[in-house]
A and B are shown apart, each in its own frame.
Chain A
Amino acid sequence: MPAFPTAARAALGDTQLRRNLAHATHTIRDKRARVVAEVEDWEDLRLAGAGVKEAALRDLATHLETLEESLVRAGATVHWARDAEEACAIVASVAKSHGADEVVKVKSMATQEIGLNEALEAEGIAAWETDLAELIVQLGEDLPSHILVPAIHRNRAEVREIFQRRMGVVGRPAPGDLTDEPSVLAGAAREHLREKFLRAKVGVSGANFAVADTGTLVVVESEGNGRMCLTLPEVLVSVVGIEKVVATWDDLDPMLRLLPRSSTGERMNPYTSTWSGVTPGDGPQEVHVVLLDNGRTRALADDVGRQALRCIRCSACLNVCPVYERVGGHAYGSVYPGPIGAILNPLLNGVSDEQTASLPYASSLCGACFEVCPVRIDIPSVLVDQRAQVVDSHRGDRVPKAEAVAMKAAAWTFSDARRLGLAERASGLAGRVIGRFSRTTLPGGRTAAGRLPGPAAGWTGARDLPAPPRESFREWWARTDGGTHDDQDGSGTATKGGRS
């Protein structure tokens, strides 16, 4: 995966994508704003939600031990997985122990994060995504681009084409008279997947919340595919990130009020399922829970970044982010896109590779993401802290980055008045040069340069560089004796600029 700026440039050129995204993000965020405005004490609810998650995180080891105990008491088998490989191996071995060569899946960020579908495929087990959008993505051999509406980059004509071309290859074909009406397409998905639900022996899920004191897992969804996966198979395996824990049953209260309103802009999502282990005579009679680390303890150790683990994956921050709105989810190169992805990926994986290290810069730091976050994650502060970590990680480089060189030079210049004066004169000269050659004029009449060569290209690739003023403040002060004897605007005429 290329670094964010490269991937973003390609996405920006895709006008269809930008149109779909703008429509989606605006629609969802308007809906959200309406139902959030209905709640008089929204801010207090946010504080309560943030408190529940923060308290659980700060005493995580205790809560995890309690969760394990309650799950086992309720008849579930608990597994622990340090990383993606271990987690995938556990799911594969459960499926194999039942002779299953397929599993049905309810959409889950954790299973996407660990690449479960690919891992199962390598073991000869087909993993069927059952969420409509995930089905579109899977059949289209594509990647999800949004947490909530993963196929938002596809329009109805594309969906119809994908269904017609691919459904028959993996199961029940799409009906011959398939139109591109959303209701007809949803109907085709219903028929196609029902066959799989009815015969599946093993279901795979994630969980939105895991309640420590009762051993209860919670899955929030809309379509009923979640209920199908959680109820009909004989065996259920849930892959749960260790940060999903809340301490008590009552703690679900602020969470179940915050999540649907922040996410889909509904007072409540159509279906929420909760279950604690095995219920005799109802649902799967063998229940497994895989508690997953995969970088979460790394994030937990980061004092500023720890709060990102409060995230309940509502996707509100994606829909308000001016950067996400224009480039979409693929450019982030991970299953977690948008503002939360920009901080979560570096927290989980470190900033050692170029792609991850580019993510904390994929933001305008406008703060909109913090405003909407139901659990009050201060994403901008974490971004700034991570930028510092990225810079720090390059301190020992043999060839320093252009930025580091520039900052060193600036420090040297600013620390001495004479050097600063010289630099300002040079800048005035540059201003005149840029002014002469530039084609762009900024509002107010100031000229600006487009794309510059050399190290500045990274900056000017997406921005105009305003030409520096021809006369610096110090020069003006010296020329006019502090503004006492000449009020002529030196920058306009440059008649007295002959000193350089």
Chain B
Amino acid sequence: MSARDDILGRVRAALADVSPAVSVPAAPRVPDRGDLVALFDERVADYRAVVTRCTSDGLQEAVAAALGPARAVVPPGLGLEVAGAVVDDGLSSAELDAIDAVVTRAAVGIAETGTIVLDHQPDQGRRAISLVPDLHVCIVDASQVVADVPDAIALLDPARPLTWISGPSATSDIELDRVEGVHGPRTLHVLLVT
């Protein structure tokens, strides 16, 4: 018998007398927290990420200020001029490793948890570009901010790869001392367009 049939057979035998579950209780919603954008701002900053607010007119300038002298890679669909940036056309991992920063947009921002979700559409690019460079400048529009995790899940398409980002990469593995950044970007700079 194949392992597949064997395992499925064992599962069925183990549950022969077990009735399928009654209905699953609905998960509670968070109470209304008022100004979601303000909450998002506060909670992202809580992870020691940098949050800067700007208007859509001031966005280009804000990106330049966030990057400083760092050389950036940008996804092909960013929709914004970034001076000196390389547009990703399938750069190798080694090439990405030589680049300091990345600028992307996002799909959703979650206020309750301070999380940004990328669904890697053309304005966000491949997963690798937001991973290998050390500084991630992420543009989130105020209209993209939702209240909590279930709202984000309802908006996102599971067929796409998704990356949920809450602050910069971090570890507490040595004596529980929090250190920002091990393998992912050590600095996360969120530009909140309001």
> Which of A81, A130, A222 meets B3, CB within 8 Å?
A81
Q: Write out, one digit per residue, whether chain B residues 158-174 have a CB within 8 A of any chain A CB (1) or not (0).
A: 11111111111111111
- Known interface pairs A182-B175, A267-B113. Does A48 touch B184 (Cβ–Cβ under 8 Å)? no
- A74, B159: Cβ atoms under 8 Å? yes
Question: Closest Cβ of chain B: how far from A258's Cβ, in Å?
Answer: 9
| Chain A residues whose CB sits within 8 angstroms of the CB of B46 once the complex forms | 267
Q: Which residues does chain B contribute within 8 Å of A44, judged by CB atoms?
A: 25, 27-28
Cα distance A193–B120 when bound, in Å? 25
User: Given A156-B174, A225-B182, A270-B166, does the pair A55, B21 have CB atoms closer than 8 Å?
Assistant: yes
Indicate which residue in A55, A149, A193 contacts B176 across the interface (CB closer than 8 Å): A149
Query: Which residues does chain A contribute within 8 Å of B175, judged by CB atoms?
Result: 20, 23, 155-156, 182
| B31 interface residue (CB < 8 Å to A) | yes
Give complex CA distance A23, B14 in Å.
Answer: 42
Interface residues of B in 1-28 (CB under 8 A from A): 2-4, 6-8, 10-15, 18-21, 23-28
Name which of B60-68, B89-97, B137-145 contacts chain A. Answer: B89-97
Which of A28, A79, A222, A281 is close to B169, meaning CB atoms less than 8 Å apart? A222
**Count, A-B residue pairs, CB within 8 A:** 250
Q: How many residues of chain A get a CB closer than 8 Å to chain B's CBs?
A: 99
Say what secondary structure dominates the interface of chain B: loop
Chain A proximity of B3: nearest CB distance (Å): 4
Q: Which residue of B lies closest to A136 (CB)?
A: B173
Complex contact A60–B182 (CB within 8 A): no
B146 to chain A, nearest CB (A): 12
B163: contacting residue among A60, A68, A273, CB under 8 A: A273
SS of A interface (majority): helix
Most buried by A among B162, B172, B176: B172
**Bound complex: CA of A224 vs CA of B132, how far in Å?**
9
Chain B residue nearest to A232 (CB atoms) is B93
Min C-beta distance of A197 to chain B, whole Å: 7
- Whole-angstrom distance between the alpha carbons of A254 and B149 in the complex? 8
Selecting from A245-253, A423-431, A437-445, the interface stretch reads A245-253
**Please, how many angstroms separate the alpha-carbon atoms of A322 and B183 in the complex?**
34
Q: Which residue of chain B lies nearest to A190 when distances are taken between CB atoms in the complex? A: B182
- Bound-state CA distance A111–B19 (Å) is 31
B131 within 8 A of A: yes
In the complex, chain A residues whose CB is within 8 Å of the CB of B173: 131-133, 136, 149-151, 186
Q: Which of B14, B115, B168 has the most CB of A within 10 A?
A: B14
Interface flag for B126 (CB, 8 Å): yes
Chain B residues with Cβ below 8 Å from A51 are: 21, 23-25
Contact status B161-A55, CB under 8 Å: no
B184 proximity list for chain A (CB < 8 A) = 223-224, 227-228, 270-271
User: Which residues on the A side are within 8 Å of B148 (C-beta)?
Assistant: 257
A-side contacts of B4, CB under 8 Å? 68, 80
Give the Cβ gap from B109 to chain A, nearest Cβ, in Å: 12
Q: How far is the CA of A189 from the CA of B6 in the complex (A)?
A: 42
Q: Which of A293-301, A389-397, A465-473 contacts B (4 or more CB under 8 A)?
A: A293-301
Q: Which of B3, B15, B110 contacts A60 (CB 8 A)?
A: B15
User: Least Cβ distance of A6 to chain B in Å?
Assistant: 29
Q: Which 6 A-B pairs have the closest CB atoms?
A: A224-B184, A301-B14, A41-B28, A51-B24, A55-B21, A297-B10
Q: Please name 10 pairs of A and B residues whose Cβ atoms are closer than 8 Å in the assembled complex, sorted by A.
A: A47-B25, A48-B26, A136-B173, A136-B174, A223-B183, A224-B183, A249-B158, A267-B114, A273-B162, A291-B7
Q: CB within 8 Å of B: which residues of A?
A: 20, 23-24, 27-28, 39-41, 44-45, 47-49, 51-52, 54-55, 58-61, 64-65, 68, 74, 79-82, 86, 130-133, 136, 149-152, 154-156, 159, 182-183, 185-186, 189-190, 193-194, 197-198, 211, 214, 216, 222-225, 227-228, 230-232, 242, 249-254, 256-257, 260, 264, 266-276, 279, 281-283, 291, 293, 297-298, 300-301, 303, 306
Query: Apart from A51-B24, A58-B20, what 20 extra A-B contacts exist at CB < 8 Å?
Result: A27-B176, A28-B176, A59-B15, A61-B11, A150-B173, A151-B173, A151-B174, A182-B174, A214-B159, A222-B169, A222-B170, A223-B169, A224-B182, A250-B153, A270-B165, A274-B161, A279-B120, A282-B120, A300-B11, A301-B15
